[in-house]
A and B are shown apart, each in its own frame.
Chain A
C-alpha cells in the first residue's frame, strides 16, 4: 500500500526531465526523445489514477497515447531525415532558416 502521490511525483519528475531536455539539448534527435519522455510521464499518471478509481478507461487512453506517440515518432523521424538531408546538420541552432 503506497500513496497515489508517489506515483504522481514520479510522473511529474519524468515530465520535468522531459521539459528540461527539450529546452537544453541541442541535438534534434535528443529533443525528440525528451518529448517521448514527457509522454511516458503522462502515461504513468493515467495508469495511477485508473488504479485508484478502478476505471479501465484510463488504460484505454494510455493505449491511444501510445498509438499517437508511435505515429508521431514515425513522422518526426522522417522529418529529421529530411532536415538532415538538406542542412547536413542535426544541431537545432543551425536550423534557423525556413527556406534555404
Chain B
C-alpha cells in the first residue's frame, strides 16, 4: 500500500487549527471518559467503590491488589476464562478469517454458477435476529452433541459475513488479474496460486478482517450464554457477567470491584492488539473501502 495521504499532509501541515482540535477534543472526552472511569474505579476496593467520587481515586490505591484478587478469586477461574477466550479467538477468529479470505477471493476472482445468490443469501440471513435463532441453533447443536463444548462457540464464530464482504472488495483490487493469469499459464493449481501469490497480497486486508473477527469473538456474549453451562468453558464476558450476577443470589458475595477490574483486564489485550497492529489494519481498511 502506498500511503498517498502523506503526500497531501505535507502541504497542509501549517494549517493546523487549535479551535478544530478543541472541538474534536470534545468527542475525545466522550469516548475516553468512560475508559478513565473504568481505570480509576479498578483501583478501588469494594468499600471504596461504595463511598467515593466516581471520577477520582479513593483513598487507598488497590489496583494491584484487585488484579491479584481477580486472578486468584474462586480458585483462579479468571485465568481459565482468559485461556478459554484465547482458544475461541485463535480458532474462531483465525478460522473465520481464513474462510473469509478464501471466500472473498473466490467471489472476486471467479465467475461461477450461483455467485450472485451467495451474497444475497448471506446479507439476507444476517438480517434475521441471531438472538431468536439461538434456540433452534441450540437444539441442533445439542443433537450433534456439541453443546457445552468449545466447538459450540468456535463453529458459529467461523462465519463472518462482514469479513467476507471486506475480503471480497479487498481482493478485487489487491490481486491483479494479470498476476493470476500468468500463474495459471505456468500451470500452478488454484489453491497454490491462492496461498503463494494471492494471500501475501491480501495481507493488510486479512489483518483487518482478523482484528474485527478477534473483537467479535472476544466480545461474544449471547452465544456462550446459551451454549455453555459449565463455567469452566466460559469466556471472559460470560464470566464477568456471572460475577456481576453473583451479588444477586442468596449467599453470593458482591464483588463489583472484581467485575470492574476484570472488565479492565478484558479490554486491555484488545486495545493493545489494536495499537500494535494499527499500521496494518488502517491500510487494510483504506484499501477495503476503495471499491463500493
Answer yes or no: are A and B bound together in one complex.
no
